[in-house]
Amino acid sequence: MVNDARLRGCAVGAFNVITVEHAEAIVTGAEQAGRPVILQISENAVRFHHGRIAPIAAAARAVAAASSVLVGLHLDHVESDELLADAVATGFGSVMYDASRRSYAHNVAATSAAAALCHRHGLWIESELGEIGGKDGAHAPGARTDPHEAATYVDATNVDALAVAVGSSHAMHTRTARLDHELIARLREAVRVPLVLHGSSGVPDNELSAAVRAGMAKINIGTALNLAFTRSVRASLTANADLVDPRRYLAPARDAMAATVANSLRLLSAPGSSPAAQPTVGMRTSDG
């Protein structure tokens, strides 16, 4: 999906799943926009589900299988090698292995081993170089990925896609990030695999479209869905203090997330391109 988007000069939207309602909203939004989409479950979301990956992955997989558009299932920001092994066993099509907090040498060594494992089992692997700002306070917002180092890193690790630091920052509540489009173009030129933008919730519409035009092929969005979801729940509960049935406030919150997904996906297409949105689940196993 991501290689195809790169060739077409557009990008695939990848949205974070925390609850079943997230997965339903993401697929509904993709269907509304008529675009393929990636459901991604992060290591932090697995931790929220008591460290058990199988139930939420099975739910996301079932939602994907019932979709009329192409859906990928991706495990996001994996730092634990045990969880990486679980991804192999749980039917994910791809993972983002995150060794970005380690030194360059450790990042290369750990990511090469992860890539070899993923490729042995038919998984696509993304990794990160250059610390994308904001996550858990561990990354510097001013971090930037060097194009020459990125090219060397991709050759050394054999990853299939690379998350780069170009000005976005995780978990922003305002859309005020300014991206370095000239750097994106230089990275696109230097790096032989698709580029991934993390922390896209804080990036304004025009900046996001320009980032795709400059060469970003996978756009990760999480916080924007949670903002839409929580705003809606808060409004429902404020408007009706007697509300008890969760379906009464979860249904509009799920609709609000779907609208956010549809709007974001419409920004990511190349002018005049027709999306590859066949009803297939982008996972390895044949029973999904």
What is the contact surface with Zn ion in residues (CB under 5 A)?
Answer: 198
The binder of 6, among ligand G3H, Zn ion, none, by C-beta within 5 to 8 A per type, is none
Active-site residue list:
76
The binder of 36, among ligand G3H, Zn ion, none, by C-beta within 5 to 8 A per type, is none
Q: Which residues contact 228 (CB under 8 A, 6 or more apart)?
A: 253, 256, 257, 259, 260
Residue 17 exposed, middle or buried by CB count within 10 Å (0-12, 13-18, 19+): buried
Does 194 contact ligand G3H by CB under 6 A? no
Number of residues that bind ligand G3H (CB under 6 A): 16
Is 17 or 277 the residue whose CB approaches Zn ion more closely?
A: 17
Do 16 and 42 meet the contact criterion of CB atoms below 8 Å apart? yes
Does 167 contact ligand G3H by CB under 6 A? no
Instruction: List, as one string, the DSSP characters of 191-235.
Output: -SS-EEE--GGGS-HHHHHHHHHHTEEEEEE-HHHHHHHHHHHHH
Q: Which residues contact 3 (CB under 8 A, 6 or more apart)?
A: 194, 217
Is 171 or 185 the residue whose CB approaches ligand G3H more closely?
A: 171
The binder of 100, among Zn ion, ligand G3H, none, by C-beta within 5 to 8 A per type, is none
Does 263 contact ligand G3H by CB under 6 A? no
Does 220 contact ligand G3H by CB under 6 A? yes
Does 257 contact ligand G3H by CB under 6 A? no
Does 199 contact ligand G3H by CB under 6 A? yes
Q: Which stretch binds ligand G3H (CB under 6 A): 149-157, 165-173, 253-261, 277-285?
A: 165-173
Is 90 or 169 the residue whose CB approaches Zn ion more closely?
A: 169
Is 65 or 259 the residue whose CB approaches ligand G3H more closely?
A: 259
Mark 36-51 as b/e (b = at least 16 C-beta within 10 Å).
bbbbbbbbebbeebee
Is 22 or 198 the residue whose CB approaches Zn ion more closely?
A: 198
The CA distance from 274 to 251, in Å, is 31
The CA distance from 268 to 213, in Å, is 9
Report how far apart, in Å, the C-alpha atoms of 193 and of each of 48, 122, 154, 163, 279 are. 32, 17, 8, 10, 26
| Among the listed residues 32, 223, 236, 280, the single contact to ligand G3H using CB under 6 A | 223
The CA distance from 199 to 192, in Å, is 22
| Among the listed residues 2, 10, 13, 16, the single contact to ligand G3H using CB under 6 A | 16
- Nearest approach, Cβ of 222 to Zn ion (angstroms)? 7
Report how far apart, in Å, the C-alpha atoms of 57 and of each of 42, 73, 87, 259 are. 11, 8, 9, 23
The binder of 118, among Zn ion, ligand G3H, none, by C-beta within 5 to 8 A per type, is none
| Among the listed residues 200, 209, 260, 269, the single contact to ligand G3H using CB under 6 A | 200
Is 13 or 275 the residue whose CB approaches Zn ion more closely?
A: 13
The CA distance from 285 to 155, in Å, is 28
Q: Would you give the distance in Å from CA 195 to the centre of its chain?
A: 12
Binding site for ligand G3H (CB under 6 A): 16, 76-77, 170-172, 198-202, 220-224
